[in-house]
Amino acid sequence: MSEEAAANVDMEKLVSLCRRRGFVFPSSEIYGGLSSCWDYGPLGVELKRNIKDAWWRTMIQERDDMVGIDSSILMHPRIWQASGHLEGFSDPLAECKSCHQRWRTDQFEGDHCPDCGGELTETQMFNLMFKTFMGPVEEAANTVYLRPETAQGIFVNFQNVVTTTRKKLPFGIAQIGKSFRNEITTGNFIFRSREFEQMEIEFFVKPGTDKEWFDYWLKECLDWYLKLGIRKEHLKLRQHMKDELAHYALDCYDIDYLFPMGWAELEGIANRGDFDLSQHAKHSGKSLSYYDEESKEQITPYVIEPSAGVDRAFLAFLCDAYAEEPDKDETRVLLHLHPDLAPIKVAILPLSKKENVARVAKDLYAELRHHWVTGYDDAQSIGRRYRRQDEIGTPFCVTVDFQSLEDGQVTVRERDSMNQIRVPIKELKTTLTAKLSGEDLFVLPPGGQIWKVEKGG
Ligand code: ATP
């Protein structure tokens, strides 16, 4: 734990908000739940999609030197032999002889059960890959594995991408997808589960330039979290010690985030050298080299790998966004989510259920949802409706009232400051577009006026 910073929220509060508002549910809940698996609810699925979209936009769409792929989860079993996962993707496991709980012995100090103090069995290495069978016969020859990382799907497609895109070094291939690990100990909500999603980049470079690209990617990855609103003091870089490095890594840093349970890995950035391409070339018998036009030689590129977890990013963004503010006699709970991440961008709140007001509100709702995920809420007092939107991080609420029928204007209220401005309906889309991309709320659209500027609205 850091002495200088404190986690932003405790886990219990966050789990409860996620459950109550439909961000995350325990998997298979009506059957008593399935340990360490989670389902993302209506708001969770939007937030998760926004995280992946924001990552894809920054890492692939806006760059010349990146392309994406989507490889299959089940792959040839020899891939895992070549990559070293069959042999080495294991954690040290011991069981308590008294309470029979199983423990990862590299995660605590001492040689007794951390829970009951009982004696532990001898430590054994436990492979984390899930096995299943391909086809109707359940025999060893048909064993396949659920991928424990998306990376290998990229390496085995290296040559396909080079020939089809004609990319020149340095360039990267990215993919987002599910990975599975039969973790010995899980927990801390969605932080460590057995089924999760990764966002991975394999960035191929000329040997000798790998160190500078490694530094470059450390900064790029950190910047991505900062740009989307994570506080600097809640992030830190941690270099792996030599004895901690994975079998393939020349160097590795973790980006750690100050989660409610303490500092823990959010993303790993590794210099994998030429390990993977060389191994797959050796095991498949196919050439995975690259013709370098400068030196006129075949070379095996080195690889820098930023590997992020979607679920951990989800947890970190939620933790960092969470806030409680005193509000009259109550507490206002809000999520200061970046507009790009907020599950709902704008909510339409008619101040009356009367038909003429409701009709304007419904028309607006129908129009805006072509552009953004839009909410509509006409139940209970306006104060309560604002609170409901604040709690799920909706950046803007639009209220329609009787005056809207006369002057053709609506009120736009901003989540963080609670400031409100009056905006002509025909300017609403332009105004919201500007504000959702971060422009100042008090730049009034033509014909707009400041309606009310006060706290507690
Ligand atoms: P840890 O040390 O926490 O087990 P790791 O070093 O094994 O993680 P990597 O293999 O580097 O993790 O995986 C890259 C990223 O994938 C991690 O930084 C994390 O965001 C995510 N990730 C890995 N395992 C899990 C898991 N069991 N549940 C959720 N996310 C995970």
- Looking at residue 255, its amino acid is I
Write the residue with the smallest CA distance to atom 11 of ligand 1.
268
Strand pairing partners for 127? 90
Does ligand 1 lie within 6 Å of residue 268's CB atom? yes
177 lines ligand 1 (CB under 6 A): no
Q: Which residue, judged by its Cα, is nearest atom 21 of ligand 1?
A: 309
User: Which residue has the least CA distance to atom 22 on ligand 1?
Assistant: 309
pLDDT score at 386: 96
Alpha helices, H only, 234-381: 275-284, 310-321, 355-368
Determine if ligand 1 sits within 6 Å of the CB of residue 312: yes
pLDDT value for 109:
85
**In the structure encoding, which two tokens stand for residue 112, read together?**
């007794």
Q: How far apart are the CA of 191 and the centre of ligand 1, in A? A: 9
Ligand 1 atom 9 nearest Cα: 268
Q: What residue type is 67 in one-letter code?
A: V
For residue 439, the SS3 value is coil
Which residues make Cβ contacts (< 8 Å) with residue 370, sequence separation at least 6? Answer: none
Total-model pTM: 0.92
What is the rounded distance in angstroms from the CA atom of residue 240 to the CA atom of residue 129?
A: 23
Q: Is the CB of 308 under 6 A from ligand 1?
A: yes
Residue 365 backbone phi and psi in degrees, to 5? -60, -45
Contacts of 357 (CB under 8 A, 6+ apart): 350, 351, 400, 401, 402, 404, 405
Distance of CA 212 from the midpoint of ligand 1 (Å)? 24
pLDDT at residue 455, as a whole number:
41
The pLDDT assigned to 268 comes to: 98
**Is there a cis peptide before residue 170, judged by omega within 30 degrees of 0?**
yes
- Give me ligand 1 centre to Cα 443, in Å: 43
Residues of the chain with pLDDT under 50: 1-3, 452-457
Half-sphere CA count of 47, side-chain side, radius 13 A: 30
Answer whether 292 contacts ligand 1 (Cβ < 6 A). no
Model pLDDT, residue 126 = 83
| C-alpha of residue 265 to centroid of ligand 1, in Å | 7
Q: Ligand 1: distance of its center to the CA of 309 in Å?
A: 7
Determine how β-strand 330-335 pairs with β-strand 374-376: unpaired
315 CB near ligand 1 (under 6 Å): no
Residue 321 CA to ligand 1 centre (angstroms): 22
Beta bridge partners of 39: 25
What pLDDT is attached to residue 448?
Answer: 61
